[in-house]
């Protein structure tokens, strides 16, 4: 029997698989990054109101006017970008669809896509779906991006570089000079920067700089973000794209045939969130995440993991070599089933599994109470039971 060939290069999502395992074993799920605390009332009420008002049919395929207008204003107010809501925005089913649609629209079979490693597991399969070749460039937590190494990875076939900052899974927030270096290479090689800025409001050091705001980059950047992390609504699946008109035209076609559109009433609610929530909301979001980060980091260090506090996003990639000789996937499974805390195996963030063999990723987008409980459970691991 013939099976479709486009999925040969990838297995099922390790992150989503760990959620299933955590549920089966009643473990605290620090694997898949979704909050366990409520979304802002203003969004929930707006969503309920929209449904009651019968905003229940297809929205315009590339996004409701109200949301596109709100997004254009947001990009101007936060980042000084001028964005035409009529021709430069696409609203998608999450940043995940945004990334897949953007790459499908812009990358041809045989092209190369540069991916910083470790990377969020979707990017590899996204490249494979386009029949492109992912080219991996390492960027370790706490280290400077090696621009010489990045330069050597560019070739005549490079079509795009995927830039995720604040980074999943390392928590790195790229500094201006690093972004300038990436931008210079994109301009020199006529390549796109396709970004994943879903954690744009969750950072603890430095500043979030969209690469689109750097010289000459607006016309060669696809800026991806969404409501999931900013408004704690990962299940709503509202992603956003800002891109120059030519790219937007192509992305809109792919998006239309893949999904027709994102959920109409939820787009209304996200628009209301963008219109209503002010600087206080975003400052509180970052402040509360910093407190959760500190709880999680302290608990991991106490339990014997080696890790640094991340600069942004809500993950800690931790080395467990001092605790166990197991490979990462077995250790993650053991931790889930026996200790009751589910992480993601580190190998899922690397092109070669051996690079992540002593690593697991913990998400700390949970109440401090749940993180403290996870910390208690992890403390028991320190005795070396994971060997």
- In whole angstroms, how close is the CB of 344 to ligand GLN at the nearest point? 7
| Closer residue to ligand GLN, CB minimum distance, 50 or 95 | 95
φ/ψ of 167, rounded to 5, equals -95, 135
Residues in the chain: 387
Preceding peptide of 8 cis, ω within 30°: no
| Closer residue to ligand GLN, CB minimum distance, 115 or 363 | 363
Q: How many CA atoms lie within 13 A of 346 on its CB side?
A: 21
| Closer residue to ligand GLN, CB minimum distance, 59 or 363 | 363
- In whole angstroms, how close is the CB of 52 to ligand GLN at the nearest point? 29
Whether residue 281 contacts residue 62, with contact meaning beta carbons closer than 8 Å, is answered with no
Cα distances (angstroms) measured from residue 50 to each of 57, 66, 74, 266, 268:
11, 13, 22, 8, 7
| Closer residue to ligand GLN, CB minimum distance, 32 or 101 | 32
| Closer residue to ligand GLN, CB minimum distance, 159 or 297 | 297
- In whole angstroms, how close is the CB of 15 to ligand GLN at the nearest point? 5
| Closer residue to ligand GLN, CB minimum distance, 191 or 360 | 360
Q: Which residue is nearest to ligand GLN (CB)?
A: 33
> Residue 38: CB partners within 8 Å, gap ≥ 6?
44, 232
| Binding interface with ligand GLN (CB under 6 A) | 15-16, 32-33, 96, 120, 168, 363
Largest CA distance in the chain: 59
| Closer residue to ligand GLN, CB minimum distance, 32 or 336 | 32
- In whole angstroms, how close is the CB of 36 to ligand GLN at the nearest point? 13
- In whole angstroms, how close is the CB of 181 to ligand GLN at the nearest point? 26
Burial of 288-324, coded b for 16+ CB within 10 Å and e otherwise, reads ebeebbebbbebbeebbbebebbbbbbbbbbebeebb
361, β-bridge pairs: 317, 344
- In whole angstroms, how close is the CB of 369 to ligand GLN at the nearest point? 21
Sign of the alpha-carbon torsion through 13, 33, 204, 199:
positive
C-alpha span between 263 and 235 (Å, rounded): 11
- In whole angstroms, how close is the CB of 94 to ligand GLN at the nearest point? 7
Calculate the dihedral angle through the C-alpha atoms of 220, 93, 121, 342, rounding to the nearest 10 degrees. Answer: 140
Q: Look at residue 360 and give its three-state secondary structure.
A: strand
- In whole angstroms, how close is the CB of 118 to ligand GLN at the nearest point? 11
| Cα Rg, the chain, nearest whole Å | 20
| Closer residue to ligand GLN, CB minimum distance, 199 or 320 | 199
């Amino acid at each position: 029997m013939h099976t479709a060939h486009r999925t040969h290069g990838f297995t099922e999502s390790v992150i989503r698989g760990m959620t299933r395992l955590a549920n089966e074993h009643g473990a605290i799920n620090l694997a898949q990054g979704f909050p366990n605390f409520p979304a802002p009332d203003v969004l929930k009420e707006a969503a309920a109101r929209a449904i009651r008002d019968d905003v229940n049919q297809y929205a315009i395929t590339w996004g409701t006017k109200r949301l596109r207008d709100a997004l254009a204003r947001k990009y101007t107010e936060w980042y000084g970008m001028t964005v035409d809501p009529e021709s430069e925005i696409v609203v998608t089913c999450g940043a995940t669809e945004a990334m897949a649609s953007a790459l499908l629209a812009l990358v041809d079979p045989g092209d190369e896509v540069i991916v910083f490693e470790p990377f969020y597991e979707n990017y590899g399969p996204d490249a494979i779906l386009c029949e492109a070749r992912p080219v991996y460039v390492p960027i370790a937590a706490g280290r400077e991006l090696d621009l010489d190494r990045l330069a050597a990875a560019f070739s005549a076939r490079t079509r795009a570089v995927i830039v995720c900052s604040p980074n999943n899974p390392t928590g790195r927030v790229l500094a201006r000079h690093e972004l300038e270096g990436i931008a210079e290479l994109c301009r020199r090689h006529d390549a796109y920067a396709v970004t994943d800025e879903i954690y744009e409001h969750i950072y603890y050091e430095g500043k979030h700089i969209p690469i689109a705001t750097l010289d000459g980059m607006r016309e060669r950047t696809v800026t991806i973000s969404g409501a999931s992390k900013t408004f704690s609504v990962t299940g709503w699946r509202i992603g956003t794209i800002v891109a120059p008109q030519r790219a937007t035209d192509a992305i809109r076609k792919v998006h239309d045939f893949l999904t027709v559109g994102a959920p109409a009433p939820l787009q209304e609610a996200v628009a209301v969130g963008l219109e209503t929530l002010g600087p206080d909301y975003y400052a509180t979001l970052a402040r509360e995440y910093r407190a959760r980060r500190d709880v999680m980091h302290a608990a991991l260090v106490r339990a014997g993991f080696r890790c640094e506090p991340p600069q942004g996003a809500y993950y800690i990639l931790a080395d467990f070599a001092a605790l166990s000789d197991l490979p990462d996937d077995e250790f993650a499974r053991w931790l889930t089933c026996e200790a009751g805390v589910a992480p993601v195996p580190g190998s899922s963030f690397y092109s070669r599994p051996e690079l992540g063999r002593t690593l697991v990723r913990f998400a700390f987008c949970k109440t401090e109470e749940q993180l403290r409980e996870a910390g208690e459970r992890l403390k028991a691991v320190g005795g070396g039971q994971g060997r």
